[in-house]
Amino acid sequence: MNEMKLPAMLAAQTMLLEPRAAAAFLSRLSTVPRAGEPERWRKARELFAPRTEILEGGVGVLEIHGMLAYRPELEELAFAGVEDSAEVAGAFRALEANPRVTAIVLNVNSPGGFSVGGPEIADAVYQASKPTVAWTGGMMCSLAYWIGSQADAVVAARSAMVGSIGAYVSVVDFHRMLANVGIEVKVFRNAEGTFKAAGLRGAEIPREHAEEFQRSAQRAFEVFRADVLRARPGVGAEAMRGQVFDGQQARGRGLVDALGGLDYARSVARMLAGKS
């Protein structure tokens, strides 16, 4: 991971992560080695591509496991539990285009991720020409719920973690720490570039930058909320305040349709395929 990658991920993108998972993810990032990516590493990305399979009866299953980010570095895939949202989108399109597939099950265990690339997966699920079922036995939170909520049916295990509908922008403010050792980061912008280099590592965060980060988070949430409601209009505002629910609570709030295991989700997909 090069010097600019970490602040770019944390400051330049709106994060759609379940908070406890976000803290664990940021902790793991500190152990990721910084290195260039040789050609052989690019080929190694295939080892971390999302898994898909086609079951008897034409049910295609796509696994969405890990924190979602758009075109992450190989070391993030290998050591930080990151899933490439671009690869997820491609795998979903491939299943949808496969004539052998009659329905698609999303097997989700993800705390969410970064906003870039995620809403496009949600759109693909919502617009799919074949029946879709989202299932989680672990986590379907934040961006992962954004995606899963767009399926024709959502199924969760009783102990699953579901929800965390919200968005935030995370910026680490180092400027006081640096000032204590006599270092000051000065940023010289063009006159029109009020928000250029907002969140730059080590620079003080002025009021207008903080307000812009707040606007970004609010905008992301409003788009998130609108997409949830287009697919699940019964979800109330009280369930979209960033909370995480277990499967039974999520069902009571309209976030999921039924409780059950992966086999049950597959049977729902087969039933929907038969109706279509």
- At 168-217, the pLDDT tens digits run 998 889 989 999 999 999 999 999 999 999 999 999 999 999 999 999 99
105 three-state secondary structure: strand
- At 125-166, the pLDDT tens digits run 999 999 999 999 999 999 999 999 999 999 999 999 999 999
Q: Where exactly are the structural domains of the chain?
A: 5-169+232-275
87 three-state secondary structure: helix
3-state helix, strand, coil split of the chain in percent (to 5) is 40, 20, 40
- At 222-242, the pLDDT tens digits run 999 999 999 999 999 999 999
Angle between helices 118-126 and 207-231 (to 10 degrees): 20
Give the mean model confidence (pLDDT) for residues 248-274.
97
For the chain, give the mean pLDDT: 88
CB-based contact 129:96 (threshold 8 Å): yes
Q: Does the pLDDT value for residue 49 go beyond 90?
A: no
Angle between helices 118-126 and 85-97 (to 10 degrees): 20
What pLDDT does 10 receive?
45
CA–CA distance, 158 with 241 (Å, rounded to integer): 21
- At 101-129, the pLDDT tens digits run 999 999 999 999 998 999 999 999 999 99
CATH for 5-169+232-275, options being 3.30.70.3340, 3.90.226.10, 3.90.550.10, 3.40.50.720: 3.90.226.10
CB-based contact 119:221 (threshold 8 Å): no
